[in-house]
A and B are shown apart, each in its own frame.
Chain A
Amino acid sequence: MSPDPAPVPPSLEVSGLAYAYPDGHQALFGVDLTVERGERVALLGPNGAGKTTLVLHLNGILEAGAGSVRVAGLPVDKRNMAEIRRRVGIVFQDPDDQLFMPTVREDVAFGPAAGGLRGAELEERVMEALGQVGMEEYAGRPPHHLSFGQRRRVAVATVLAMRPDILVLDEPSSNLDPASRRELADILRSLDVTVLMVTHDLPYALELCGRAVILSDGVIAADDRTQDLLCDEPLMRAHRLELPFGFDPRSVTVNSG
């Protein structure tokens, strides 16, 4: 009989995370969140709840005041920074901030090259990442020649090229036209990577993420199946979450991811 395989550590383990800005304003008051390998989780919450602040703790840009963050078992601290930043791929809201090289190719190559990859191996990695988002023909183009949706996809590729354990997306569907929105959803569904998605787009969250958590007043206020959460009207109202006009979560059949 073969022995049981070693348990895969959760992609993300946040425990008791608290943080205050230098000017004294405290944003997180003890966040506990665990995301298992392969899950797709939506992070919901009103503006100013601390979602982006939380995200910046995941790759060590902000240092926790209290509590800890572990990525695939590795704690986030100064010694592990390079590896943490490879494991956690954050796609920020403005693709222009992330596409800072003269061509798409070089942007996607930046991450792996910073990790030491060179030559043919680097090329391969770049093409693989671009292939995952369907942007291979645009490799030689400068970023400002692409549409916004295309830039979003390339931004995702820049992070995929580092083969992360968890993909963190900050408002991935914002400013996208419906077709681009669908294209991005198809791409995210096709990826074999853990996903944490910060979003206001509740239908998008329902479509792509089987589980949703609500961050409110600096703590996790709710953690449930996305559909159940969205159907809980008092809960939604309590945290300033509202469904779009005419959208009935009960009427949607989801294949949870």
Chain B
Amino acid sequence: MGAGHAHKLYRHGHSPVHDLPPHCKLAAVFCFVVVVVSTPREAVWAFGLYALLIAGVTALARIPAGFLLGRLLIEVPFVAFALLMPFVVPGEQTHVLGLSVSVPGLWGAWNVLAKGTLGVAASVLLASTTELRELLLGLQRLKLPPLLVQIASFMIRYGDVITDEMRRMSIARRSRGFEASGIRHWGVLAKSAGALFIRSYERGERVHLAMVSRGYRGSMPVIDEVTASRTQWAYASALPLLALAVCLVGWTL
């Protein structure tokens, strides 16, 4: 549970997609995924079109297909779950490859697989074409509370620092002959976790000191702002609008 994936997805590049303002991309991708999730699962062709749309944007962004497909491996646990469904869900039975599976189960599996995969693909596309700080600026522009964005910014800035400290503690432990191999060793690991918390908290206090020393008075100074022109919004909305068209057709058919 919650093992946390820390692989940064950003790929440096220059493409029309990279150059779009971050808040446009965030909004576009989010709307796209909402549309995908709202599509009836029986409209199988619709999902094929969505996949084509994603592929198109990927090509436009000059992201190698292999990179995108590789990152889809994040959802392996849910693929496993989806594959179980035809055997677990009750309902009218049918035969696939000699196995007896239920039709509603197949539909359910398809639904989760298709939508989940498209969702991950869209997310990866967003993260790989938008720099970290741009994403945060974009979120702020989309009216996420500035305090929340600032906390996220610190979390990202110091995430690696804290992880490094954790690694150094692990090395120190192992250098003194300690190998954690079972539950009885959890006490030592928890002590490291406790020490890490104290260090992190104290660092937070020092960071606050440094901020105050540079004139911080409770709210972050505005350093950068993102703006978008009408054309940029138009380009960004191409993705969700096309998807919406597909979705509506899928509903009416």
Contact, chains A and B (beta carbon distance below 8 A):
yes
Give A59 to B207 CA distance when docked, in angstroms: 15
Q: Give B164's nearest chain A residue, CB to CB.
A: A144
Given contacts A96-B161, A144-B161, contact A86 B222 (CB under 8 A): no
Would you call B157 and A115 a contact (CB within 8 A)? no
Given contacts A100-B154, A102-B136, A103-B133, contact A92 B210 (CB under 8 A): yes
The segment from B71-79, B213-221, B235-243 that touches chain A is B213-221
Provide the residues of chain A in CB contact with B214, threshold 8 Å.
85, 110-111, 114, 158-159, 162
Give A158 to B214 CA distance when docked, in angstroms: 8
Would you call B156 and A102 a contact (CB within 8 A)? yes
- Which of B154, B156, B209, B221 meets A114, CB within 8 Å? B221
Give A106 to B161 CA distance when docked, in angstroms: 18
Would you call B153 and A102 a contact (CB within 8 A)? yes
Q: Give A111's nearest chain B residue, CB to CB.
A: B214
> How many residues of chain A get a CB closer than 8 Å to chain B's CBs?
30
Given contacts A110-B223, A113-B222, A113-B223, contact A101 B217 (CB under 8 A): no
Would you call A85 and B215 a contact (CB within 8 A)? yes
Given contacts A106-B133, A118-B222, contact A100 B211 (CB under 8 A): yes
Give A101 to B153 CA distance when docked, in angstroms: 7
Q: Give B222's nearest chain A residue, CB to CB.
A: A113
Q: How far is the CB of A223 from chain B (nearest CB, A)?
A: 26
Q: Mark A88-120, 1 if CB is under 8 A from B, else 0.
A: 001010101110111100100111011100100
B160 at the interface (CB under 8 A from A): yes
Q: Give A143's nearest chain B residue, CB to CB.
A: B157
Q: Mark B156-169, 1 if CB is under 8 A from A, else 0.
A: 11101100000000
Would you call A92 and B206 a contact (CB within 8 A)? yes
Would you call A85 and B213 a contact (CB within 8 A)? yes
Q: Mark B211-253, 1 if CB is under 8 A from A, else 0.
A: 1111111000111100000000000000000000000000000
Provide the residues of chain A in CB contact with B217, threshold 8 Å.
82, 114
Give A109 to B225 CA distance when docked, in angstroms: 13
Would you call B215 and A162 a contact (CB within 8 A)? yes
Given contacts A96-B161, A102-B153, contact A90 B213 (CB under 8 A): yes
Would you call B224 and A106 a contact (CB within 8 A)? yes
Give A92 to B221 CA distance when docked, in angstroms: 21
A27 at the interface (CB under 8 A from B): no
Q: How far is the CB of A165 from chain B (nearest CB, A)?
A: 14
Give A103 to B224 CA distance when docked, in angstroms: 12
Would you call B133 and A110 a contact (CB within 8 A)? no
Would you call B206 and A94 a contact (CB within 8 A)? yes
Q: Give B214's nearest chain A residue, CB to CB.
A: A111
- Which of B133, B160, B215 meets A111, CB within 8 Å? B215
Nearest 7 CB-CB pairings of A with B: A114-B215, A113-B221, A111-B214, A102-B133, A97-B206, A114-B221, A98-B210
- 5 pairs, A vs B, C-beta closer than 8 Å: A92-B206, A94-B206, A100-B157, A106-B224, A144-B161
Name A residues whose Cβ lies closer than 8 Å to a Cβ of B: 59, 61, 82, 85-86, 90, 92, 94, 96-98, 100-103, 106, 109-111, 113-115, 118, 122, 142-144, 158-159, 162
